[in-house]
Amino acid sequence: MTAAACHDPGTSGQQAVVPGRPQLVLAGNPNVGKTTLFNALTGSSAKVSNYPGITVESIRGELPLPGGRIADLRDLPGTYSTNARSAEEQIALDALIGLPGPDGNRAPDAAIVCLDATQVARATYLLLQIQELGVRCVVALTMFDEAGPAAPDPRKLADLLGCEVVPVIARTRRGLDDLCAAVDRVLRKERRATWRWQPDAALRARLDAVRAAMPDDWRSGTRFGAPLPASDDAVALWALTCVEPVTGGPDDDELAVPDAVRAAVTAEPPPHDDQAVLARWRWLDKEIPPLVTRAPDRSRTERIDRVLLHRAAGFAVFIAVMTVLFMALFWWAAPVMDGIKDLFAWVGDRLHDVLGDGIFTDLLVQGVIGGVGTVIAFLPQVLLLFLFLGFLEDCGYLARVAYLMDRIMRSMNLHGRAFVPMLSGFACAVPAILATRTMERRRDRILTMMVVPLMTCSARLPVYTLIIGALIPGSTLTQSLLMVGMYLFSVLTALVAAWVLSKTVKPLKAKRLPFVIELPPYRFPRVGGVIRMMWSKSSLFLREAGTVILACAIALWALLYFPRHLPAGSPDYDALIARAPTEDAKASLADEKQAARLENSFGGKLGHAIEPAIRPLGFDWKIGVGLIGAFAAREVFVSTLGIVYAVGKDADEGSEPLRDALRNAKRGDGKPAYSPLMGLALMIFFALACQCMSTLAVVRRESRSWRWPAFLFAYMTGLAWIVSFCVYQGGKLLGFG
Partner 1 sequence: MPLGKPVTVEAVEGARAFRRRLLEMGLVPGTPVRVVTVAPLGDPLRIEVRGGQWSIRRAEAAQIQVEVKPSPAPAKTKPAAGQAPMQALAKAKAERP
Q: Which of residues 54-83 bind partner 1 (CB under 8 A)?
A: 80-81, 83
Tell me which residue of 43, 38, 210, 190 sits closest to 114, measured CA to CA.
Answer: 38
311 versus 671: smaller Cβ distance to partner 1 = 311
264 versus 467: smaller Cβ distance to partner 1 = 264
405 versus 693: smaller Cβ distance to partner 1 = 405
Angle (CA) 505-94-35 rounded to 5° is 90
Each residue 241-260 as x (binds partner 1 by CB under 8 A) or -, in order, gives x--x----------------
> Do 703 and 675 meet the contact criterion of CB atoms below 8 Å apart?
no
Q: How far is the CB of 270 from partner 1 (least distance, A)?
A: 7
Residue 141 forms beta bridges with which residues? 115, 167
119 versus 703: smaller Cβ distance to partner 1 = 119
Alpha helices in 572-635 (DSSP H): 573-579, 583-600, 602-609, 611-614, 621-629
Site for partner 1 contains 309 (CB under 8 A): yes
CA distance 263 to 244: 10
Q: Which of residues 441-470 bind partner 1 (CB under 8 A)?
A: none
Residue positions counted in the chain: 737
CA distance 36 to 170: 6
- Please identify, among the stretches 6-14, 69-77, 295-303, 382-390, the one whose residues bind partner 1 according to the rule CB under 8 A: 295-303
- What is the distance between the terminal CA atoms of the chain, rounded to a whole angstrom? 84
Q: How far is the CB of 120 from partner 1 (least distance, A)?
A: 9
Among 331, 515, 706, 736, binds partner 1 (CB under 8 A): 515
- Please identify, among the stretches 308-316, 425-433, 436-444, 649-657, the one whose residues bind partner 1 according to the rule CB under 8 A: 308-316
Coil, helix or strand at residue 678: helix
CA distance 157 to 74: 25
Site for partner 1 contains 303 (CB under 8 A): no
Site for partner 1 contains 413 (CB under 8 A): no
Q: How far is the CB of 228 from partner 1 (least distance, A)?
A: 23
Whether the upstream peptide bond of residue 657 has omega within 30° of 0, thus cis, is no
Q: How far is the CB of 256 from partner 1 (least distance, A)?
A: 20
Among 277, 364, 542, 610, binds partner 1 (CB under 8 A): 277
- Please identify, among the stretches 114-122, 169-177, 432-440, 625-633, the one whose residues bind partner 1 according to the rule CB under 8 A: 114-122
| Residue 441 neighbours by CB under 8 Å, 6+ apart | 53, 86, 87, 415, 511, 513
Mark 34-73 as b/e (b = at least 16 C-beta within 10 Å): bbbbbbbbbebbbbbbbbbbbbbebbbbebebeeeeebbb
331 versus 515: smaller Cβ distance to partner 1 = 515
Among 399, 501, 614, 625, binds partner 1 (CB under 8 A): 399
276 versus 325: smaller Cβ distance to partner 1 = 276
Q: Which amino acid type is present at position 133?
A: L
φ/ψ of 80, rounded to 5, equals -95, -15
Among 49, 90, 118, 220, binds partner 1 (CB under 8 A): 118
> Do 633 and 441 meet the contact criterion of CB atoms below 8 Å apart?
no
- Give the DSSP H/E element, type plus range, for residue 139: strand 137-142
258 versus 314: smaller Cβ distance to partner 1 = 314
Site for partner 1 contains 281 (CB under 8 A): yes
178 versus 273: smaller Cβ distance to partner 1 = 273
Classify the phi-psi angles of 291: left when phi > 0, otherwise alpha if psi is within -120 to 50, otherwise beta. alpha
Site for partner 1 contains 517 (CB under 8 A): yes
Among 197, 326, 330, 403, binds partner 1 (CB under 8 A): 403
Each residue 471-510 as x (binds partner 1 by CB under 8 A) or -, in order, gives ----------------------------------------
Site for partner 1 contains 402 (CB under 8 A): yes
By CB under 8 A, the count of residues binding partner 1 is 47
Tell me which residue of 399, 639, 608, 418 sits closest to 520, measured CA to CA.
Answer: 399
Site for partner 1 contains 271 (CB under 8 A): yes
- Please identify, among the stretches 53-61, 395-403, 551-559, 646-654, the one whose residues bind partner 1 according to the rule CB under 8 A: 395-403
Among 201, 477, 516, 734, binds partner 1 (CB under 8 A): 516
Angle (CA) 540-544-545 rounded to 5° is 105
Among 155, 188, 189, 311, binds partner 1 (CB under 8 A): 311
Q: Which of residues 315-374 bind partner 1 (CB under 8 A)?
A: 315
118 versus 381: smaller Cβ distance to partner 1 = 118
Site for partner 1 contains 273 (CB under 8 A): yes
Site for partner 1 contains 295 (CB under 8 A): yes
315 versus 332: smaller Cβ distance to partner 1 = 315
Q: How far is the CB of 425 from partner 1 (least distance, A)?
A: 22
Among 310, 350, 503, 543, binds partner 1 (CB under 8 A): 310
Q: Which amino acid type is present at position 203?
A: L
CA distance 416 to 435: 13
Q: Half-sphere exposure of residue 586, counting CA atoms within 13 Å on the CB side?
A: 9
Mark 239-260 as b/e (b = at least 16 C-beta within 10 Å): bbbbbeeeeeeebeeeeebbee
177 versus 274: smaller Cβ distance to partner 1 = 274
Q: Which of residues 81-100 bind partner 1 (CB under 8 A)?
A: 81, 83, 85
- Give the DSSP H/E element, type plus range, for residue 166: strand 165-167
- Please identify, among the stretches 215-223, 265-273, 426-434, 479-487, the one whose residues bind partner 1 according to the rule CB under 8 A: 265-273
Tell me which residue of 714, 559, 691, 561 sits closest to 635, measured CA to CA.
Answer: 691
CA distance 390 to 380: 15
Among 189, 506, 512, 565, binds partner 1 (CB under 8 A): 512
Site for partner 1 contains 125 (CB under 8 A): yes
String of DSSP letters for 35-101: HHHHHHHH-------SSTT---S-EEEEEEPGGG-EEEEEEPPP-S--S-SSHHHHHHHHHHHT---
Q: Which amino acid type is present at position 11?
A: T
List of residues contacting partner 1 (CB under 8 A): 80-81, 83, 85, 118-119, 121-122, 125, 241, 244, 270-271, 273-274, 277-278, 281, 285, 289, 295-296, 298, 305, 309-311, 314-315, 399, 402-404, 406-408, 410, 416, 511-519
